[in-house]
Amino acid sequence: MMTFAVAGGILLNIGAYLTYRGHIYRAVKVYLAADMCWIAMAWQRADLTVMLFIAVGVLLGFLAFSKMHHGTMERSLQTKSKDGM
């Protein structure tokens, strides 16, 4: 049986792979899904402190997602030119 912790861990690994490949916009979406799994796990255990810390992480992730969606932040690391370095 897959628990919320296992599902969140698998999503975390997928998000890390997407980050490694330079697909930051997609990785943030996956990280937010992993955070939802961990909030559900904390809810089952009635651990309000953990839920608070995860909620702060979700808020920061959502802000990054929002900035990428509106174009104020790059969606991919691959779109950067090497001339600017």
Tokens at 4, concatenated: 């919320």
Q: What is the pLDDT of residues 36-64, one digit of tens each?
A: 898 888 888 898 898 899 888 888 878 87
Averaged pLDDT score across all residues of the chain: 82
Amino acid, res. 21: R
Q: Within 10 Å of residue 82's Cβ, how many Cβ atoms?
A: 5
Inter-residue contact 22 to 14 (CB < 8 Å)? no
Tokens at 69, concatenated: 């969606």
What's the predicted TM-score (pTM) here?
0.70
Quick one: what percent of the chain has pLDDT higher than 70? 84
